[in-house]
Amino acid sequence: MFPFKCILQSVSSVQAGKIDFVGQLKLMGRDKILRYCIQVFAQSEKLLLDFTRKNNGNKPIHENSIRGAIAIADFDQFSYKQLRSIEAIRIGIEVCKIMINYFPDLGSELYCINCTTIAGIGLKLVRPILESPNLKFHVFGTNQDEWKEAILSRIPADLIRPPFGGTRNDAQVLIKPDCLIRPTSQNKCSSDVPIHYTNNISTCDENV
């Protein structure tokens, strides 16, 4: 029998279905979109490194120290509009390649929930790029009981916001990629779909 060692792991969540990538691409253009995505990745990486240092007692970090976040992406309201633009698809793939090539340790697991047929098409485009031994995908349809049970088996309910099956109402909003969100006007971006982080989940791994 192997003993179990409990470790701390960060959790992130985003209502991906509310992000109007095509609309923002038309509004801002390719270069600005890429810059904002890189900024989000860089902010996420800093949070992850700070979290790792804190839980390692400020000891030096090495490649085996970092454990990527458990991410939850809600694809409710994801629209076919996001797949009709060849340019948007190309840039979306470019964003995924930037993440996997330059920020490979950001995530360890990705739970994709409320995936309709349309969302499934989008995932088929990016999953082969993102999925690796370091990032495991879990894809669920719109059966809330099914994906909620899977998520709550990994993460305590009080650490997850209600849209993702939890009960937490005071989540820390540490990253706001405002200009990837549906614009409230032609010149202003809404910030109603932030990425939320909670950084105090314990998970147990087998350890020889």
Question: Which is it for strands 195-206 and 4-14: parallel, antiparallel or unpaired?
Answer: antiparallel
Cα end-to-end distance, the chain, whole Å: 9
pLDDT for 47: 81
- Percent of all residues in the chain with a pLDDT value above 90, rounded to a whole number: 39
Residues comprising the chain, all counted: 208
Give the CB-side neighbour count of residue 129, counting CA atoms within 13 A: 16
Give the CA diameter of the chain. Answer: 61
Choose between 147 and 193: higher pLDDT: 147
- Per-residue pLDDT tens digits for 103-158: 988 889 999 999 999 999 999 999 999 999 889 999 999 999 999 999 999 888 88
pLDDT for 67: 76
d(Cα 1, Cα 169) in Å, to the nearest integer?
39
Which CATH number do you get for residue 59? 3.40.525.10
- Percent of all residues in the chain with a pLDDT value above 70, rounded to a whole number: 75
Look up the domain containing 52 and give its range: 4-206
Structurally, how many domains does the chain consist of? 1
Mean local confidence (pLDDT), 6-22: 80
Choose between 170 and 45: higher pLDDT: 45
pLDDT for 159: 79
pTM: 0.78
